[in-house]
Amino acid sequence: MEKRLHNHISESILTLYSSAIYCFITWIAAGLFTHNLWLQMALMAATCYLMVEMSKHLIFLRLRSWMVTSAFMMLSSCCAFNYDSTSAGIIGISAVATLFLLLSTYQNPQDVGHSYYAYVVLGITSLFFIKALYFIPLMWLLTLLMLQSLSFHTWLASILGTITPYWLIGPWYIYKQDYDILSTHFEPLFNWHTPTADDVLTPIRIVIFVIIGILFILGAINFWSKSYEERIRTRQYYGFLQWMVLALSIFVLLQPQYYDTLIRVIIICACPFAAHFFTLNSSKITNYLFFITLAIIMILSVISTNESLTDIANHTLLEIWNG
């Protein structure tokens, strides 16, 4: 394979360092010092570290590359509007931990340990975002079909893992005689909130969503067209992530009020496809697309870190769309 400039960039560890520095700069621009976003940035840093470990141990790319984590950091920099959200940070790191643990159970239906801890993390996530529980049936199905590791024991471990956080905090609320808080916590599961006019996505958020979607689609088409070159294990990993991206995207389209909360999780699941596309595709068109995408990401990240620029971009895009 004749390697082009974007292939060398994708395989270089300097890309990881450069992406980390750029991401850190966007945090400063978004108010790291002025708004004291240290906890949120620490959660992002921990998420990036887990992304490195996950891509290294699960071998998403057959070449030595750090592009998966680099793609995550660059795409996340476009979403600076959720930097101040602690919940988004917790849900992001929980998503990586859950995926890492679940994917590690591949073809091991007796791996009760990894299954249990994966759902413990998911249970903790549900403390901050109760509708994360909606995705449990899908994860069971994908674990059965893609990972081939769902058995009665791992299924039981998943249930025990999910309710473990509630076992730990439940006695405290019983001791405080605060019996309503748990029922109030679970109430949104049974109330499907119809989006209002205030929940409609702003144009800049739609653009970011579309960019992520295009990268995911291009990556998926490229991956499956050349899937014969990949190990069966890798194909199953990508199949799992593909269905998670589709499910999360549909959920966000139906419930746009959760866009800021879940967009980081969508990026986590989609970035292996983008990384695979740019790392293992050496066509001239891909080379152009790489630098065009990089330029678009940098423009969007600059816009999203500045409220005034965001307002101007939203107003301009609305004028264009409205003719």
pLDDT tens by residue, 286-304: 999 999 999 999 999 999 9
Give the tens place of pLDDT for each residue, 117-146.
999 999 999 999 999 999 999 999 999 999
Write out the two tokens for 306. 């500045």
Tally Cβ neighbours within 10 Å of residue 212.
21
Q: Would you say how long the chain is, in residues?
A: 323
Mean pLDDT of all residues in 244-267: 94
Whole-angstrom distance, CA of residue 2 vs CA of residue 281? 10
* 22-62 confidence digits (pLDDT tens): 999 999 999 899 999 999 999 999 999 999 999 999 989 88
H or E stretch covering 41 = helix 38-58
Residues 104/143, Cβ–Cβ less than 8 Å:
no
| Mean predicted confidence (pLDDT) in 152-170 | 92
pTM of the model: 0.94
Cβ–Cβ < 8 Å for 30, 24: no
